[in-house]
Structure 1
Amino acid sequence: MKKYIILVLSAWMATSAQATQQCAIDGFLNSNMRLSSYRHSQAATSFNVRCDQGYSIVFNSENLTNASGTSYVSNGPYKLRTQLNLQGAGQNLWGVQLRQAPSERQKYVIAVQLQDNPYNGVPAGVYKDRVSVDIIF
């Protein structure tokens, strides 16, 4: 039996601030999402943003192929397609700066689903993608 460990998300936050603005990020569920080794397996993570003024947020992926969240995990020469989805940003757009209103607590959820069948000629191994979240305020 083949076993696949698919590491999908290693998220990091990049922020910058002017002295008068107060923003905070908390409640980060986990920094690694692991998909199971079957088609349509899913994983998710979430975090909260509190900001007293408007801010912009950009969700991106190293292997992103379009703004709809189509991406892939890879071990180098082999790839498996994934679908990334957002909740909380108002739109499910990737690689696009999304303007957000001030918020006491805005929850964001990032989910991923494996689109390919990993048993169709793909060798066992660790397949990765890196998702980044940039918050500009």
Structure 2
Amino acid sequence: MVQARIQAENFFKWLEEEGDCLQSLMCTPSSKTLEMEYFLKLESFHYEDQQKLIADVQALEQKLGVSACWKEISPEWEAAKKPVKEWDYRKASDKLEGLLVACIFEMTHLNVAGTGYKMHKHLANALKTCSKSIQATINAYNMAAHTHSAGSIIK
């Protein structure tokens, strides 16, 4: 801390700011959630069983009080699209973070004294599987980052 010139009170300030940020992320208004759900149903309307989706879309339109169905050119569509893309990006980011932490945890077991040859082989196989999972998750993250304007692509 001394070398980086960070004062102890900064940690408490950062901790409070992080708590406020996490608290704000937890509270999604129900109207926003309904709008996001409505947008997702409309988006999948073109690809899935239309009869069931028509009923779902009509029920959501009634809950939201929508008089005319949203179109891709409507401002409501664009307003609902942004939080959905942000949610996809966060979900991919969280999954990637979880896999990386799990992989690092597995790696720490490799350096533990007393770990036998069979355990090393088992851990090496687990790390290979973890590596493949991470690569697939990075691809999903990159797709989400590409559609989300604030995202950064990992190479």
**Short-chain TM bin:** under 0.3
Structure with more helix by fraction: 2
Higher strand share: 1
Question: TM-score, length-normalised on structure 2?
Answer: 0.20
